[in-house]
Structure 1
């Protein structure tokens, strides 16, 4: 009887640890994406606070883009640094360090003075802090996601990976609601308006507080990965990521992710601004409502994709979805691009269907990349495989410009979607099936 009670208690403790690790990864993804969207949604209307009043339009565009690009450039560096730490000192410690880091940086951004106080130094401080923010953000998921996956049972890894990434659309919805509330309640009109001077700071303080709460959650609730603790903990240099079996895994993941990042950019970057606003001429409320509905559906579709990937296999799922994006996604995109005369409800439906199909691979990606690397290099492999591959797709505007020499502007968007899907499919084809990988054994 005593042994049965002990067994029940031990199982209960294991479940408690597993749930804490999974919730921690979900919260980390949420806070990470919340912080990523802060400048694009909250800070954009207030950037004049950091810049001279009289700026040529081209220079203003460059200065605005730098605030966002520097964050993006910092993420691969952060994944490299904190991935190595996650493999060397543990997933939990690496996560706590990175989360505290971007919490502090986000809070410092909220305290920045404007151009009227310290001149152009205000802008360069903002850019520097956003770069450092990107570095720490790149480390957040590098530790938390492998930790959660290592606690997950093999038959649940598909659901767990998808559940973690579903925090991305949820964060988008929450920060947009926060932005709409701030825009409605705080007047914004120029660098001296209440919103430009202090209103934008409130969401940044909220982001910092969320990060500090998350760090406290990991300190109090989340244990270190038992899989990592029982591993050999071999000393691996960064160069080892590009050699032997690990190197082959990394380059295969890099190719696949480069393709799927390119298709993802169509949904998250090109669709809201270029397609819905510029080409179709929707107003701000119509675009916001369309995106709210789309991202609400994505929260569920990510999880559905993860469950399907668990049943049929990750590789097979990618090999089905890649061609589906080419064949179905490109047709839906073409209809949307030429749908200026369509009623708004039909446009919304088409956008939702398009977004679900194109982003479906992301419901499987977290699980798959973690399964491609052994425990000794899993944090580094996941962090670099996930982050380094975002760099080439981030220059999508240049690719569209080059393609514009041989086709119409609208066609360049469809071409990028097809190219990304083909690259992602080829990358998946080059890799093995991973759903039966044992995290406690070498690959």
Structure 2
């Protein structure tokens, strides 16, 4: 861990704390993101009501989605003006409170329609805090990190997403098996949310006790309106270039995870009972691939990595997706794993890349808004993908979207320069 610090003259413990905070904080953040999607699934009909439980769960997810860009804009600006550590602690406190409150919501048989809207409201507010956490904590970790290690740290931070997915899936599976489906649907679903709240509370204590802002963010000049500076000011070109690149990555995510999962459940040679195991294996492999991708970008350059990856994915991603839907047994596990490798593993360098694209005065605003605003249209795929599938066919439409995502990744990378990955962040 000592080799990750930015400068040998600063306190090793302060640097280590910030780096660990970036890694573990993103794990907690991602756990909270996946909670309603995974933990509520076995209990949705009881918790939310029997009518269109899947659609109601989707509404809860969309509420989180809409909150994240707003949180990135609010907390990113606060982090740039008032400090990243202070902003991170406020965001994590909000995550802990909203997640705990969700665990206390009465089920549909008690609350009726109010149950759904309580979930929606709390997930929207929680989404605001989620967007704030990574907008402050990840740039903070990058500012404390030695330049030669930023790619590796970035890969580790991004790998927290699939690991959090696997953690929640595993916890939910164990609880359902131990408690039984009825008990889990009745009250056991609250336990993953309580666990998420406790993890957030632990991270809050961690940041309050031992994480400080990096010297670069406390000694450099600060802008009074960092959000304006990235949207319409001198850093607007960086923001919209990042927006294009990240839109491609978010399209990868939606097609390779929720869309592929849903289509596998309906595939007769796979079936719904084996899909969780397949996705668990593929997700764990993708975490290792993200870590490797971040490290590779440190050697060959972030821009070059994205261009080469996108060019390869232009062919590999659509073909791997089609292969996954026609395979069974061990071949299906392998095919789905390949889909993850040739799509979402491209996230590996993102933490370092976004931090390097913006100077300290607007780094959190640029990181948070660029990362979050670009996910809105891809995550609304339930509204536009069916139309595309009716025109091109169910599989061909997804293959076309994957090809478009690859092209956006290449275009976004080409529009930007190669960041200086060998120098300290400025």
Shorter-normalised TM range: over 0.9
Greater Cα shift, 138-147 or 121-130:
121-130
- 1:32 alignment partner, one of 17, 29, 35: 29
Tell whether 2:3 aligns with 1:14.
no
**How far apart are residue 132 of structure 1 and its match?**
0.8
Against the structure 1 CA distance between its residues 33 and 281, is the aligned structure 2 distance closer, same or farther, given a 3 Å change threshold?
farther
CA contact (8 A) 1:75 1:136 kept: yes
1:3 maps to what in 2?
Answer: none
Matched, 1:256 2:270: no
Which of 241, 254, 257 is matched with 1:268 structurally?
257
Among residues 42, 45, 51, which one is paired with 1:45 in the alignment? 42
Pairwise CA distance, 1:389: 0.3
Q: Distance in 1 between matches of 2:108 and 2:341?
A: 42
Tell me which residue corresponds to 2:319.
331
Out of 139, 148, 162, the position equivalent to 1:169 is 162
Q: Give the drift of 1:398.
A: 3.5
**Aligned position for 2:284:** 296
Q: Residue 100 of structure 1 corresponds to which residue in structure 2?
A: 93
Distance 1:196 1:330 in 2: 37
1:359 aligns with 2:344: yes
Q: Does the CA contact (< 8 Å) of 1:50 and 1:120 recur in 2?
A: no
DSSP-derived class of the 1:406 partner: helix
- What's the offset of the Cα at 1:319? 0.5
Of 61, 64, 70, the residue aligned with 1:77 is 70
In the alignment, the residues of structure 2 paired with residue 17 and residue 51 of structure 1 have an alpha-carbon distance, to the nearest angstrom, of: 45
Alpha carbons 2:140, 2:213 under 8 Å: kept: yes
Q: Does 1:234 align with 2:219?
A: no
Q: Give me the whole-angstrom Cα distance separating, in 1, the residues matched to 2:63 and 2:349.
A: 28
Q: How does 1:220-231 map to 2 (within 5 A)?
A: 220-231=209-220
1:63-91: CA deviation from partner (whole Å, max 9, x where unpaired): 23111110111111111111011101111
SS of structure 2 residue aligned to 1:166: helix
* Higher deviation after alignment, 403-412 or 310-319: 403-412
Offset at residue 244 of structure 1 (A)? 4.0
Q: After the TM superposition, which residues 374-385 of structure 1 pair with which residues of structure 2 at under 5 Å, given as runs? A: 374-385=359-370
Q: Is the CA contact 1:100–1:212 (under 8 Å) kept in the aligned structure 2?
A: yes
Shift of 1:280: 4.9
Query: Displacement, 1:393?
Result: 0.8
Whether the aligned pair in 1 keeps the contact of 2:49 and 2:108 (CA below 8 Å) is yes
The TM-score normalised by the length of structure 1 is: 0.90
2:170 is the alignment partner of 1:185: no
User: Which deviates the most, 353-362 or 44-53?
Assistant: 44-53
Task: Check the 8 A contact 1:22/1:164 in 2, yes or no.
Answer: no
Q: Provide the residue aligned with 1:433 in structure 2.
A: 418
Q: Distance in 1 between matches of 2:109 and 2:319?
A: 50
Pick from 284, 295, 299 the counterpart of residue 307 of structure 1.
295
Pair 1:319 & 2:304 matched:
no
- Contact kept in structure 1, 2:226 and 2:362, CA below 8 Å: no
Give the superposition deviation at 1:44: 2.2
Could you tell me which of 309, 317, 332 is aligned with 1:347?
332
1:128 paired to 2:121: yes
What is the distance in 2 between the residues matched to 1:408 and 1:435? Answer: 44
CA offset digits 1:269-302 (Å, max 9, x no partner): 111222x211354244421221221122122111
CA distance in 2, matches of 1:31, 1:222: 16
TM-score, length basis structure 2: 0.94
- The structure number with the bigger radius of gyration is 1
CA distance in 2, matches of 1:409, 1:231: 52
Q: State how many pairs are aligned.
A: 420
**Conservation of the 8 A alpha-carbon contact between 2:37 and 2:57:** no
Structure 2: unaligned runs, 5 residues or longer: 1-6
Task: Name the CA distance, whole Å, in 1 between partners of 2:89 and 2:273.
Answer: 38
